[in-house]
Amino acid sequence: MTFDMNVLFDATWIGTHLKQNIMHGGLRVIYELTNRLENSNEVNLFYSSNKYDRAIINNLVSFIEENKYSSLQNKIANNQTETFKILNYLNSKTNSNLIKNWSSKQFLKSNIFDKNMMKRMDIYHSPIEAIPDEIKKYKNVKRVFTSHDLMPFTRPDLAPPSFVELLKPAYDSIDRETKVICVSEFTKSELLNYRKDLDESQIETVYLGANKNVFFPNLDETKFLVLSKKYNFNFEKYLLCLNRNQKYKNTEHIIEAYIRVVNDNKNSDLGLVLIGTFDNVEIKKSIMDKYKGFKHIHFIEYIPDDELSVFYSNALSFVYMSLYEGFGLPIIEAMQCGTPVISSNQASLPEIVKGYGICINPFDVELLSDQMCSILYNPELQNKMVNNSLERSKFFSWEKNLEETVQVYKKAIN
């Protein structure tokens, strides 16, 4: 027997970021979860944006149509496009300043949800953004919020300003009536410390996963040779790092450890591949200039997932020295590809790695360079860590994430 729930999902990030070709962690999580909710026989999925923006709404319409998710005429709860068409028509016919002023100053500020649709909804799920006040007016709709991390509040010294701007309203919008999904036990403990008014019983830990159809041991030599030529690699062995170039990601620490390995061991054939975006052009130029003397350091801002799988699979090791992560999704992707992992021992990362990789102090450059060498010069250790990664990755899956997320919905309703 199916338990059909009407779930309204905040897809603001899909409408904002999906067409930018930057599949960063938060967007990847939202994309993977919506895909599985759409295919669940227990959920009827609908969409909204937490603010009305015609560009976002139009992108959501395209997203639904391109993925052939539904033949339902109205899938978006706050799609006001038709109303704007009427306003534009009236403007063109009357040229009324009154209509223009009302349209631009009043209506554009409103995020109006379809009342008839809202009466049918059981759950409103925000995977990252603030829950709109308008939603709270509908007492039949139970609220669910996903907490990824609380870095702006617990480690403000590390958090980029944009994180504070996004997350402060989001965490302010949850209350005792909101069921909260945390992506790790670490994040759950951080939330309970930050919001002491919340009760532990309203919080559930649901781990993330990695797409098994995308991330798997992809050791096809031909594919790797093609990518080597495409990205101008002149090395067979390389270390891999995947993250945006921000302070808390600790990327330069990895670079300095790599340089120590190359210099101390006269190893000129070892590469370092760093995949991720920069905050701005100035920072990018500064870092590029600083390390331009090392021909085997490669900065790549974006690559598609099918190529990323090959990069993970053929890497000597995946190195992740972040100072703060609520989960650390790239670690699971790497492990699922059978890549040995050297991780920071900060925040949630030991919980995710759990002894199946190497967890070390992310401030010790010498220690990191030693661990790089241990994998580089010890094939037996490398093989053991390949098996460890594959074994640990079995614990995480999007199928498991979906099942546990639906259970949270049911608890919220009951």
* pLDDT tens by residue, 19-72: 665 657 788 999 999 999 999 999 999 999 988 788 888 889 888 888 888 665
Can you give the pTM of this predicted structure?
0.90
Q: Which CATH class is domain 221-393?
A: alpha beta
Confidence of residue 100 (pLDDT cuts 50, 70, 90): low
CATH code assigned to 5-78+113-209+398-413: 3.40.50.2000
C-alpha–C-alpha distance, residues 337 and 367, integer Å: 25
Give the count of beta carbons closer than 10 Å to the beta carbon of residue 99.
Answer: 16
Nearest-CA neighbor of 335 among 270, 385, 274?
A: 385
Phi-psi label, residue 266: left if phi above 0, alpha if psi -120 to 50, beta otherwise: left
Please say if the pLDDT value at position 89 is more than 80. no
C-alpha–C-alpha distance, residues 365 and 412, integer Å: 47
Look at the alpha carbons of 54, 57, 59, 61 in this order and tell me if their dihedral is positive or negative: negative
* pLDDT tens by residue, 349-406: 999 999 999 999 999 999 999 999 999 999 999 999 999 999 999 999 999 999 999 9
Report the amino acid identity of residue 336: Q
Look at the alpha carbons of 214, 215, 218, 222 in this order and tell me if their dihedral is positive or negative: positive
Nearest-CA neighbor of 280 among 156, 155, 363, 161?
A: 161
Structure tokens at 351: 């919980």
Boundaries of CATH 3.40.50.2000 in the chain?
5-78+113-209+398-413, 221-393
What percentage of the chain exceeds 90 in pLDDT? 68
* pLDDT tens by residue, 142-178: 999 999 999 999 999 999 888 888 899 999 999 999 9
- Output the CA angle 141-146-147, nearest 5 degrees: 140
